[in-house]
Amino acid sequence: MPQVLGIDISTTATKAVLVDETGAVRAIGITEYGFEVPHPLWSEQAPQLWWDATIAAVRQVLASPGVTADEVVAVGLTGQMHGAVLLDAADEVLRPAILWNDQRTSAECELIREVVGRERLIAVTGNDALTGFTAPKLVWVREREPDVWRRIAHVLLPKDYVRLRLTGDHAVDKADGAGTLLFDLARRDWSPEVVAALDIDPRWLPRSWEGPQVTGSLLGAAAEATGLRPGTPVVAGGGDQSANAVGVGVVSPGSMALSLGTSGVVFAATAEPLFEPLGRVHAFCHAVPERWHMMSVMLSAAGSLRWFRDAVAPAASYTDLVEPAGEIPPGSDGLVFLPYLTGERSPHADPLARGAFVGLTLAHDRRHLTRAVLEGVAFGLRDGLDLMLAAGTPRPAQVRVSGGGTASRVWRQILADVLEVEIATVSTSEGAAYGAALLAAVGGGNWYAGVEEACAALVTATPSAEPGTSAALYREAHAIYRDLYPALKPTFDGALAAPGRGSGR
């Protein structure tokens, strides 16, 4: 049976997922690795890790019972967005890749706003300058590492370094390209205006492709390393969030997804390029041709629950922790949790924001604190959703959810009540890697005429929670939650500026 392979190069592991023509996952391979923090706020990774992990993960898949390389008809790529991989003219890596979660570029973000103009930057790229994006990283290298800057011949994103090793081609998909802060959102390609303003040589930037388009085929050396068949087509794929949206079937305008992992993402597919005037949510190209998306990102979603479990009840399972919270009334008897444990991105682009419990009394127990964490994360997601709706995204009838946090019945109901929308689970659970496989099925396997047709055939959504009578109460509680960040921001800033504060010690 013909099969397609989706490869996801994430921050901590590379996953390979083999999918057959029925949409079933036939095999999975995963290889983990770490990243380096050589200085405070820095986050770097050696690109060779991704290639070694890709080889290992693909070979795990091909070693699965009943799987042969001859059955793999196409490969799709996805992975962590916003990184900066710098290569010389011989495609040798010039320095460790600077990752999406690197925070060193605050000064460079201000410089970009000054040079381009903040309003113009948002109008062209759909986004404000944030430390996570690729462009500030390049400006940092220009200002701080001139020897490296002079030797740059190619700039790639993480998954596209793996593409280079697979096919020998310098290429990027339009969804990942839009996450660099160097793309013209409406034109779906590099912005000559922004590129020139930042003194970046346009020859460094790879050709951009739509997600299902074939960018090249497997080289003999790559085939020998991975075990795949030489000449196997490789499609452009997508950044991890757009590929995940394909994996859960959010490809048509008006559809929406919610990913509840360590971070929390609300993702809306749109028919045209929309952006929030202040850049408080992201606007990118979708991995689907002639589609765009808006996306809000909160940094500590299920990560907030993990922190709470580890700090308060490390021996408890998540089920034992969360299920009793269902006994507590909505609103947690006046207790509110701010989930800004690692700063925040949407709606407050503030690395100094911090978490807080507000309203504690002697009447509160662990169940109240747990429910407050679940509700606080839901309120943060509602903040992002409201900004997206105000920017023109249609209010959806249903939100398709994925990620470990959505396994909880209690949390799904809280999300339905707070977001005031039906929550649905999907038939797939492999996220971005599955979406990359579907893009390969369309462009390389020619199984379907388009991505929407593929998703309609292979992805099923099942309603699992609907807004209940608590929705009105949560509207009032959310208003209280919204007032807390501006009230506490001076405290956050002052505490973190004091000697010895804010370090976690």
Residues with catalytic annotation? 240
Integer Cα distance of 273 and 290 in angstroms: 10
End-to-end CA distance of the chain: 56
Integer Cα distance of 79 and 27 in angstroms: 19
Closest CA to 266 of 301, 296, 300, 302: 296
Count of C-beta atoms within a 10 Å radius of residue 403:
20
Q: Regarding beta strands 207-209 and 189-190, do their DSSP bridges make them parallel or antiparallel, or are they unpaired?
A: unpaired
Non-local (6+) Cβ contacts of 93 within 8 A are 46, 47, 48, 85, 86, 87
Closest CA to 300 of 340, 273, 330, 336: 340
- For 59-105, strand residue ranges (E) read 72-79, 85-87, 97-98
Beta-ladder partners of 31: 14
Integer Cα distance of 132 and 261 in angstroms: 18
Structural element, H or E, at residue 490: helix 471-497
Integer Cα distance of 450 and 433 in angstroms: 18
Per-residue b/e over 80-89, b at no fewer than 16 CB within 10 Å? bbbbbbbbee
Closest CA to 11 of 39, 42, 44, 38: 44
Contact 211, 238 (CB under 8 A): yes
Contact 433, 7 (CB under 8 A): yes
Rg (CA), the chain: 22
Integer Cα distance of 308 and 375 in angstroms: 13
Non-local (6+) Cβ contacts of 494 within 8 A are none
The number of CA neighbours under 13 Å toward the Cβ of 137 is: 29
Which DSSP string corresponds to 438-484? HHHHHHTS--SSSHHHHHHHH--EEEEE---TTHHHHHHHHHHHHHH
